[in-house]
Amino acid sequence: MNIYRPSLAVIEKINQETRDTRTFTLRFLDDDIREKYKFNPGQFNMISIFGVGEAPFSITSDPDAKGIFEHTIRMVGSVTNAIFKLREGDIVGVRGPFGKGWPLDEAKGKDLLIVAGGIGIAPLRPVIYYTIKHRDEFNKVEVLYGARTPGDLLYVDEYDQWKQAKNFRLLLTVDAVPKGVKWDHRVGVVTKLFEDMETKPDNSIVLVCGPEIMMKFAVKGLLERGFSKRQIYLSMERRMKCGVGKCGHCQIGSKYVCKDGPVFSYDEVEPLPDKIV
Amino acid sequence: MGRVLILSIEEVKNLLEKLLSRYKVYGPVKAKDFWKFEEITNPDEVDLGYISTMLPIKKYFLPPFETILHVKLGEDKEITIKEPEVNEKCVLFGVHPCDLKAILLLDKVFLDELKDPYYLKRRENTIIVALNCTAADEYCFCTTFGAGPFAKEGYDLVLTNLDERGYVLEVGSNKGEELIKAMGFAEVSDEYRETILKRKEEILRKMESEINQKRRIPNVEKLPELLAKNFNHKVWESMGKLCLACGSCNLVCPTCYCFNVVDKFSINLREVERIRTWDSCLLLEFAEVALGGNFRRERLARFKQRIYHKLSYFIEQYGEFGCVGCGRCIRWCVRKIDPVKIVGEIMEKPVPLS
Ligand SMILES: Cc1cc2nc3c(=O)[nH]c(=O)nc-3n(C[C@H](O)[C@H](O)[C@H](O)COP(=O)(O)OP(=O)(O)OC[C@H]3O[C@@H](n4cnc5c(N)ncnc54)[C@H](O)[C@@H]3O)c2cc1C
Ligand code: SF4
Ligand code: SF4
Ligand code: FES
């Protein structure tokens, strides 16, 4: 198999999440590829729009779902603009899944704290699906999620279902509430929610994803609250041109984000150069 | 394997002649004031006295521009993807040990568990005739990393110039053995073989000490730790100002492998070529991400990325230094920025190692 050759997938469904973000449900055209395709929460695909290019996107769907997978994509540049021009029934190229995902095996039997900012919730949604479906494998699950405004929150239709799960808490915050919008959660950056959380450093694992500056403050807050560097996992974002450890673009120090990550423990990230967190 | 032959300069040409009759052959050719590896059609074009070519032979395994996919966009959303075929069988004649070692390092990148199919095919289709170094210039420092002046592995055949006695030809692989068998050169007596190999050893020692005297990083095994501890040494700041961030060093470096990928439409918008091109971590766009973010916006950060990748990160990634001491990045730098000197300055006044 040629590592650079994408497989074709059809867009089954497009859901407008927010002003600039959509969730795309994809299905591989080839039966064999579709059957065999499996991913771990936190892994990503390289999505091709032929003639425009390829870019990495986290897989956001339920890892147990058969036959389909989803990407939530924010429009920021050329490939993402091209993706936003596509309609249901259109075809894209997909390579993946790539990278190492979240350490769910290690999290089993422990409390799980999820801290997400903005589109950073995308690679964590498979974890939420997974923990809800396999509720007994984990202790408490707590999700702290922050967005710019209430209108920027992703997956709002699913919150009720999440909250119904046993021993599962969802805490929300936004940076600002526009006039006239009803909002009965916190206002402020996501680290504000640390004041309300129940998860303690004892027997817990923390998964963090968001803009690097947000992860920086999240890590700082967690360390201050007694969490250790090895308990905290981050998903890093870097420019990627291959996804398979060849093009060199995603390197941070000696790490390739595409194959050694994108998920790293803070312990691994801390000594690396050229980063904000 | 292990076979040793002696070839006069005429016989070397003869060997080339025979290779030319069967394969495409690339070799070192004198350009105006430098050398380059080029296709040759006549043995006389090859200059076996060359020191270093401007571009390394990585261009034959990872071309500067290369189509990695052909995509046809048909009517009715039909998409057909075709992989380009890589068929050319060729000989690289007269490859110096540092450049050969660099290919062995690139193998670690491109032929790990996720193999690059195009690189792999070219590696399989290429015969390497190495040429041990019996001359070096003031930029060469291969001995620091054990990459030269003589090749240790990775060649099919290797030549060493013994002056008036001609060239020693040694066989390094089955492919090489088959080639030589087919050419019908006479074997030498055991006795003569001993003499020759001894002479070769002498030349090697002489070359080693000559290069070591001119340019060397001492205590290289301590280098990664030294660099790690001196990430903020004052030498870096002046380098960040001196460097123009033009990326020439990346292009001429035999172990730089980074590439960019771009899609190109045909005029009728029905066909797409996905092309990869050499890229350079010294360039501003290299580590740019969405919405204006850039993790190496500072020139200094980009400058350090290259040096640290070669002399530190590569070891963590692949178990060896990522530099072979070919000297190209100094030779071709407009500002004559010199990693050996930088390391020297750090060694002079280091943050003490524990
Ligand atoms: C592991 C991983 C997972 C990701 N998951 C998601 C996701 O689930 N949803 C989502 O919307 N986005 C995700 N991203 C970010 C997404 O890849 C970029 O937004 C996308 O590559 C931008 O491409 P573009 O062609 O639209 O932008 P471009 O036109 O290429 O450029 C816009 C800007 O983005 C920069 N850029 C180019 N390539 C990348 C890159 N690989 N990463 C970041 N910036 C880049 C350009 O330098 C430029 O500054 C993820 C990135 C990584 C590395
Ligand atoms: S870093 Fe310089 S000396 Fe080392 S292999 Fe590259 S070009 Fe040659
Ligand atoms: S990161 Fe820079 S120094 Fe390292 S291989 Fe790539 S271009 Fe060369
Ligand atoms: S994306 Fe190419 S090496 Fe990681």
Tell me, yes or no, whether B270 lies in a domain: yes
For residue range B211-235, what is the model confidence (pLDDT) as tens digits?
A: 999 999 999 999 999 999 999 999 9
Tell me, yes or no, whether A248 lies in a domain: yes
Model pLDDT, residue B164 = 78
% pLDDT > 90, chain B? 84
For residue range B158-195, what is the model confidence (pLDDT) as tens digits?
A: 999 998 779 999 999 999 999 888 887 877 888 888 88
Per-residue pLDDT band for B354 (boundaries 50, 70, 90) equals: low
Domain count, chain B: 2
- Domain end position, chosen among A98, A116, A147: A98
Model pLDDT, residue B291 = 72
Model pLDDT, residue B292 = 73
Q: What is the ipTM of this complex?
A: 0.95
- Domain end position, chosen among B182, B214, B246: B214
Tell me, yes or no, whether A277 lies in a domain: no
Domain count, chain A: 2
What mean pLDDT is predicted for residues A141-154? 97
Per-residue pLDDT band for B1 (boundaries 50, 70, 90) equals: very low
Q: Do B155 and B49 share a domain, yes or no?
A: yes
Q: Do A119 and A66 share a domain, yes or no?
A: no
Q: Do B19 and B128 share a domain, yes or no?
A: yes
Q: Do B53 and B150 share a domain, yes or no?
A: yes
Tell me, yes or no, whether B116 lies in a domain: yes
Q: What's chain B's average pLDDT?
A: 94
Tell me, yes or no, whether B353 lies in a domain: no
Tell me, yes or no, whether B178 lies in a domain: yes
pLDDT at A220 > cutoff 90? yes
Q: Do A205 and A254 share a domain, yes or no?
A: yes
What mean pLDDT is predicted for residues B33-56? 96
- Domain end position, chosen among A98, A131, A162: A98
Q: Do B40 and B169 share a domain, yes or no?
A: yes
Coil vs helix vs strand at A94? strand
Q: Do B248 and B206 share a domain, yes or no?
A: no
Q: Do A126 and A248 share a domain, yes or no?
A: yes
Q: Do B20 and B138 share a domain, yes or no?
A: yes
Interface test with B, best of A79, A242, A260 (most B CBs within 10 A): A242
Q: Do B171 and B286 share a domain, yes or no?
A: no
Output the CA torsion sign for B21, B24, B27, B33. Answer: positive
Model pLDDT, residue B352 = 63
Model pLDDT, residue B77 = 86
Cα(B242)–Cα(A157) distance, rounded to whole angstroms?
56
Question: Between B328 and B165, whose confidence is greater?
Answer: B328
Structure-token match 């301590």, residue found: B222
Q: Do B32 and B127 share a domain, yes or no?
A: yes
Q: Are strands B167-171 and B259-265 parallel, antiparallel or unpaired?
A: unpaired
* DSSP of A198-256: ---STTEEEEEES-HHHHHHHHHHHHHTT--TTTEEEE-----SSSSS-S-TTEETTEE
Q: Do B191 and B268 share a domain, yes or no?
A: no
> Which residues on adjacent β-strands are paired with residue A111?
A204
Cα(B135)–Cα(B142) distance, rounded to whole angstroms?
12
What mean pLDDT is predicted for residues A69-89? 97
Coil vs helix vs strand at B106? helix
Q: Do B54 and B198 share a domain, yes or no?
A: yes
Print the domain residue range for A125. Answer: 104-269
pLDDT at A39 > cutoff 90? yes
Contact: B312, A2; criterion CB under 8 Å: no
Q: Do A219 and A259 share a domain, yes or no?
A: yes
- Residue B98 CB–ligand 2 contact under 6 Å: no
- Domain end position, chosen among A42, A73, A98: A98
- Nearest residue in chain A measured CA to CA from B275: A53
Interface test with B, best of A4, A21, A75, A276 (most B CBs within 10 A): A4
Print the domain residue range for B122. Answer: 4-214
Tell me, yes or no, whether B109 lies in a domain: yes
- Domain end position, chosen among B214, B242, B272: B214
Ligand nearest to the CA of B147: 2
Tell me, yes or no, whether B333 lies in a domain: yes
CATH number of the structural domain spanning residue A170 = 3.40.50.80
Model pLDDT, residue B353 = 58
Tell me, yes or no, whether A1 lies in a domain: no
pLDDT at B210 > cutoff 50? yes
CATH number of the structural domain spanning residue A13 = 2.40.30.10
Tell me, yes or no, whether A188 lies in a domain: yes
**Chain A interface with B: residues with Cβ < 8 Å:** 2-6, 8, 50-54, 76-77, 80, 89-91, 93, 212, 237-239, 241-242, 244-249, 251-254, 256, 259, 273-276
Q: Do B62 and B124 share a domain, yes or no?
A: yes
> Which tokens in the block code for residue B51?
């020191």
Q: Do A82 and A127 share a domain, yes or no?
A: no
Chain Cα centroid distance, residue B285: 25
For residue range B126-162, what is the model confidence (pLDDT) as tens digits?
A: 999 999 999 999 999 999 999 999 999 999 999 999 9
Whole-structure pTM value: 0.95
Q: Do B95 and B153 share a domain, yes or no?
A: yes
- Domain end position, chosen among B214, B234, B256: B214
% pLDDT > 90, chain A? 100
pLDDT at B290 > cutoff 90? no
